[in-house]
Structure 1
Amino acid sequence: MPVEVALLAVRVRYGPLEALHGVDLAVPAGRVTVLLGRNGSGRTSVLHTLAGLVRPAAGRVVWRGRDVTALGVHQRVRLGLALVPAERAVFASLTVAEHLALGARTRGDLADEALELFPELSALLPRRAGTLSGGQQQLVAVARSLTAAPALLLLDEPDRGLAPAAAARLHEHLLTSAAATGRTVVLTAQTLPATLAGAAAVHVLHRGEVTFSGEPGEPGEPGEPWEPGEPRTAPDATR
């Protein structure tokens, strides 16, 4: 399948520490890709490199065949990228309604769709985001990103703090909207939820390296509480 965005031999350093060690990683277009790994595995560094928050010390970022390594965050946003970080993803002084309006400046109906997906937000529209719980703030951040209708959506542990029902709704929406609109989604998780069994690809990271790339059913049964501490290899194709 065609590739939307890829890291090619990317190394990322924070001072003397190297977080990614020559990572090669391809994201299929118009599908959902999941980055699995424990905290410190390099998942967030991959997202930040894709978004332009981090400049690689070596290697390239290629988006739709174009080398975007030197482009900053704002330039990638103009090209259709959106990132929802794991923390501090809302503006504390803005209301929930204002957050949705930020994303849906061109199409107001997308704000209505976001409220249909997360009806929990309806009663919170007049409240400032800074007064919400962590899980509620996460709903606001994800909803705002969806109303912007990005071509490439990056989500760092988007179901953190969400009720299981809300997380399942989000996963289903990401899968169906990617198929319907051609949007490409990359999200991180520590384990693979059963509700993301329809993802196109899974990349497992361990200590800054990709130790497995394949389909969701290959590293373990979807939903199994498997934590990728040890490298896994793809199943023998002859079996």
Structure 2
Amino acid sequence: MSVEVQLRAVRVRYGLLEALHGVDLACPAGRVTVLLGRNGAGRTTALHTLAGAVRPAAGRVLWAGRDVTALSAYRRARQGLALVPAERAVFASLTVAENLGPRAAAVEAYFPELVPLLPRRAGTLSGGQQQMVALGRALLAGPRLLLLDEPDRGLAPSVAARLHGQLLEAADEGLTVVLAAQSLPGTLAGAGVVHVLRRGQVVFSGEPSELLSGPVGLS
């Protein structure tokens, strides 16, 4: 399978702290890739490095074979990358419809729960509802590469399971998804690749079935 985006020997430092220690990981095109690890493992840093929100101290970021290490997050977004961070990225003073943009009504295909909330200001919604708004906005933008940091946070189990199914279906249609999570839910067993990070290093890369049957842990 072809690779859509990857990190090569990437090191990321926050002051004196090195968060990624020469990380190599590849995310196949048209598949869902899951970055697993506990808090502080480096999965969020890896995701933000792919997005251009964090600049590596060493190593390269490749997207479709092109070195985009020096390309800003804004320019990556203009070229079809969408990032949904773990913190609910909504404009609290705007309505749900305004947050979602001109195709707001189409969010029903992903989150029908939001349709009656379209006139409401996003800041009045629950945490899970705000998460759906942030995810809906990214999905409606029609990205080529979608990066999600703990997208299940605040979602009801049934909504999270539905989202996972929709991500797998979208990947079948050509969307590349990279998703950071603390554990691998059964509803993402169809993911293409799982990378397990521990203390800033990749300790496992393979298919979900290999992870579930192997000795690799997250601690």
Band of TM-score, shorter chain? over 0.9
Superposed, 1:88-127 pairs within 5 Å as 88-101=88-101, 105=102, 108=103, 111-127=104-120
Q: Is the 8 A contact 1:191 1:227 kept in 2?
A: no
Aligned mates of 2:107, 2:114 — CA distance in 1: 9
Say which SS state the counterpart of residue 114 (structure 1) adopts. helix
- The answer to whether the aligner puts 1:228 opposite 2:218 as a matched pair is yes
Alignment-derived partner of residue 149 in structure 2:
156
Q: Deviations over 1:121-168 (max 9, x none)?
A: 011111111111111100000001000010000000001110011001
Task: Count residues in correspondence.
Answer: 217
Q: Is the 8 A contact 2:193 2:207 kept in 1?
A: yes
Alignment-derived partner of residue 166 in structure 2:
173
The two structures have a TM-score, normalised by structure 2, of: 0.96
Alignment-derived partner of residue 123 in structure 2:
130
Q: CA deviation at 1:228?
A: 1.1
Query: What letter matches 1:34 in structure 2?
Result: V
Q: CA deviation at 1:112?
A: 4.0
Aligned mates of 1:172, 1:154 — CA distance in 2: 16
Q: CA RMSD in A?
A: 1.2
Aligned mates of 1:51, 1:177 — CA distance in 2: 20
Query: What letter matches 2:136 in structure 1?
Result: A
Alignment-derived partner of residue 68 in structure 2:
68
Q: Deviations over 1:103-127 (max 9, x none)?
A: xx5xx3xx44421321110111111
- 1:227–1:138 Cα change, 3 Å: farther
Q: Tell me which stretches of 4 or more aligned residues in structure 1 moved more than 4 Å.
A: none
Q: Deviations over 1:23-46 (max 9, x none)?
A: 000000011000000000001000
- 1:171–1:9 Cα change, 3 Å: same
Query: What letter matches 1:123 in structure 2?
Result: P
Q: Is the 8 A contact 1:204 1:228 kept in 2?
A: yes
Superposed, 1:197-208 pairs within 5 Å as 197-208=189-200
Q: Deviations over 1:39-73 (max 9, x none)?
A: 00001000110000000000000000110000111
Which ranges of structure 2 fall in alignment gaps of 5 or more residues?
none
Q: Is the 8 A contact 1:49 1:55 kept in 2?
A: yes
Q: Is the 8 A contact 1:32 1:174 kept in 2?
A: yes
